[in-house]
Amino acid sequence: MSGMYSINDLLNLVIQQGAAELRLEPDRPPMMLLQGKVRVLDGPLVTSDHINELFGGIATDEQRRELDLCGSTHFRYATEHSSQFSVRADLRGNCLRMSIKNLKP
């Protein structure tokens, strides 16, 4: 099941807006930290399954295993245009949450 958002589109929006962070939490729309304030994006809510799908688009097999075994993982991710992000993913029960910090806002 494909979600309404793609990870590339969300990260590009973070870069374009100069946001410091993208937050993805189950049953909420995506949120960006912009100039010290949380901005909720207009659009549908994301599910834990959709967050898992978005996570799978940027995580390696090793990072996925770490999340499964430890319940959390933290790593750096670079887009094809060399933008750098710090990614933290946490499992709480069966719900996945992600925080993606822009390292060059």
Domain residue extents for the chain: 7-102
Q: What is the pTM of this model?
A: 0.92
**CA-CA distances (angstroms) from residue 70 to 10, 16, 44, 64, 66?**
26, 33, 30, 10, 6
Position 3 pLDDT exceeds 60 = no
| The pLDDT of residue 90 | 97
Q: What is the tens place of the pLDDT at every residue in 82-91?
A: 899 999 999 9
What is the structure's pLDDT at 4? 81
* CATH number belonging to domain 7-102: 3.30.450.90
Report the pLDDT value the prediction gives residue 1, as an integer from 0 to 100: 37
